[in-house]
Chains A and B, each alone.
Chain A
Amino acid sequence: GAVVSQHPSWVICKSGTSVKIECRSLDFQATTMFWYRQFPKQSLMLMATSNEGSKATYEQGVEKDKFLINHASLTLSTLTVTSAHPEDSSFYICSAKEWRGAWYEQYFGPGTRLTVT
């Protein structure tokens, strides 16, 4: 299957600073990528859909000015958590869609664990 990478795998930052997380599709081009957030013992919650060359589509309740998404190429999407606060500490996971000939399959990156102190 296709490979999606994320960087960094974990990050600790101080409250008020910004953190950028990268998501790359390594062996395929992804016009659409997705950003999820997962709190402990909870399910994945879709934050936004990232489309190459256009603005991201945010889910209800997700602040677009706080979670900046840029999908500048067919293999790279970035999520920047601006002015991070302890409540932003979570597991952030990206995914990318690949056309498999008759259906789309969604591949997940390994995730980035963010801790805001």
Chain B
Amino acid sequence: QKEVEQNSGPLSVPEGAIASLNCTYSDRGSQSFFWYRQYSGKSPELIMFIYSNGDKEDGRFTAQLNKASQYVSLLIRDSQPSDSATYLCAVTPSYNTDKLIFGTGTRLQVFP
């Protein structure tokens, strides 16, 4: 079982819709969770992080964490074509809080 799993996609949504990206992780002791956006040929940029169960909102983005289910998601409201990118879920493992373990990413396509 991979430490961090994501559906590779592509996830296609129309402009203005809500995009829902999901991620599961295997280390029950993980405490920190991050969502990064990566455009093709570029390095990742941090969108949001979440530490506590529940929802965390920042503009059009909402991160949701459910530690009991070992599940973290990212919702993008009012999706724009510029949101088209690969979204990487990253988790800090309990055995080394210095590290980030990345999922393989979900490619999002927002069409006009």
Q: Which of A32, A97, A111 sits near B42, CB closer than 8 Å?
A: A111
The total of chain A residues at the interface (CB under 8 A) is: 20
Q: Judge whether B43 and A46 touch: CB under 8 Å.
A: no
Question: What size tier do the contact residues of chain B reach?
Answer: 20 to 34
Judge whether A44 is part of the interface by a CB distance below 8 angstroms. yes
- If A43-B88, A44-B44, A111-B42 touch, whether A106 touches B100 (CB-CB below 8 Å) is yes
Judge whether A108 is part of the interface by a CB distance below 8 angstroms. yes
- If A44-B88, A103-B32, A103-B49 touch, whether A111 touches B98 (CB-CB below 8 Å) is no
- If A43-B88, A43-B105 touch, whether A93 touches B43 (CB-CB below 8 Å) is yes
Closest to B51 in A: A103
Q: Judge whether B103 and A43 touch: CB under 8 Å.
A: yes
Judge whether A42 is part of the interface by a CB distance below 8 angstroms. yes
Main secondary structure of the interface of A (DSSP, over half): strand
Q: Which of B88, B99, B101 sits near A49, CB closer than 8 Å?
A: B99
Residues of B near A97 (CB, < 8 A) are 98
Residues of A near B57 (CB, < 8 A) are none
Judge whether B61 is part of the interface by a CB distance below 8 angstroms. no
Judge whether B104 is part of the interface by a CB distance below 8 angstroms. yes
Q: Judge whether A108 and B100 touch: CB under 8 Å.
A: no
Report the minimal beta-carbon distance from A29 to chain B, rounded to whole angstroms: 16
Q: Judge whether B99 and A46 touch: CB under 8 Å.
A: yes
B residues apposed to A, CB below 8 Å: 32, 34, 36, 41-46, 49, 51, 88, 98-105
A residues apposed to B, CB below 8 Å: 1, 32, 34, 42-46, 49, 93, 97, 103, 105-111, 113
